């Protein structure tokens, strides 16, 4: 098959422009909706917009402030959903396209990418992927402005009780990835799971426009 020169991929510029438009709209909605979320004593974690034709799906992720433990209950999700839907319905700068509004909380599976994420999980078992070296699993003891301090769990044979190593400190600049490890026999984890904390794959109420 002959290949014609001088012709790029026309979809790439269009996709880049569409992505930039969605990012700008997400930031505009963040400015609009953040005061509504804060009125419920919640933190606006993220806003993600997806489109299918003229239909938009606006996914708003809310979380508890970093000084509070637990998850966002379904009753709170329902209450903030109504206020967010009202704010969007009354948005004078909206272009009028139909939308579906989804509200959820991050859940324990979300990556730990910000210091506030780590602070919200002090006391939990976490897995840390450093910039170099092996992964470390341990109990998160404290979080500072520069990094974390944790009590590592040493590898043991199957069926044996976990052994703990010496406390260690990792700077945020040396951490590539962090995740919370769910402990099914841990009472606090069971409380989190029963407290209505939804992940992005398990959204809360959806409000079609």
Residue of 200 and 170 predicted with greater confidence = 170
pLDDT beyond 80 at 159:
no
First to last CA, the chain: 48
Closest CA to 91 of 13, 32, 8, 143: 32
Asked whether the predicted pLDDT for residue 32 surpasses 60, the reply is yes
All residues at 6 or more sequence positions from 115 whose CB lies less than 8 Å from its CB, including other chains? 143, 145, 172
Q: Give Cα separations from 55 to 4, 98, 119, 177 (angstroms).
A: 36, 5, 37, 34
Residue 14 and residue 162: Cα distance in Å, rounded?
A: 53
Does pLDDT of 193 surpass 50?
Answer: no
With 50 as the cut, is the pLDDT of residue 188 above it? no
Burial class (CB in 10 A: 0-12, 13-18, 19+), 26: middle
Cβ neighbours for 88, distance < 8 A, ≥ 6 positions apart: 29, 32, 33, 58, 94, 99, 101, 209
| Residue 198 near residue 110, CB atoms below 8 Å | no
More confident residue, 146 or 109: 146
pLDDT digits (tens, 9 = 90+) for 105-139: 887 778 898 999 999 889 999 999 999 999 999 99
Q: Is the pLDDT of residue 60 over 70?
A: yes
Token pair, residue 175, equals 């951490």
Range scoring the smallest mean pLDDT among 13-22, 36-45, 81-90: 13-22
- CA separation for the pair 71, 194 (Å, rounded): 9
The answer to whether residue 19 scores a pLDDT higher than 70 is yes
CA-CA-CA-CA dihedral for 24, 29, 32, 33, to nearest 10: -150
DSSP characters over 105-145: ---TTS---SHHHHHTTTTSEEEEEESSS--EEEEEEEE-S
pTM higher than the cut 0.75: no
């Amino acid at each position: 098959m002959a290949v014609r020169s001088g012709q790029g991929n026309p979809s790439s510029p269009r996709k880049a422009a569409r992505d930039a438009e969605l990012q700008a709209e997400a930031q505009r909605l963040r400015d609009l909706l953040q005061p509504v979320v804060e009125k419920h004593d919640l933190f606006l974690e993220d806003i993600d917009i997806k489109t299918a034709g003229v239909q938009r799906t606006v996914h708003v992720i809310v979380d508890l402030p970093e000084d509070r433990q637990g998850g966002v209950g379904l009753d709170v999700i329902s209450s903030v959903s109504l206020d967010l839907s009202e704010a969007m319905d009354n948005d004078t700068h909206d272009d009028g396209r139909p939308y579906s509004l989804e509200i959820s909380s991050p859940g324990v599976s979300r990556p730990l990418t910000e210091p506030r994420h780590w602070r919200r999980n002090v006391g939990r078992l976490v897995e840390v992927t450093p910039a170099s070296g092996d992964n470390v699993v341990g109990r998160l003891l404290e979080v500072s402005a520069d990094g974390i301090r944790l009590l590592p769990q040493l590898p043991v044979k199957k069926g044996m009780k976990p052994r703990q190593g010496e406390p260690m400190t990792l700077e945020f600049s040396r951490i590539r990835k962090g995740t919370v490890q769910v402990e099914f026999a841990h009472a606090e984890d069971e409380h989190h799971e029963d407290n209505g904390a939804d992940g992005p794959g398990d959204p809360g109420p959806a409000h079609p426009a």
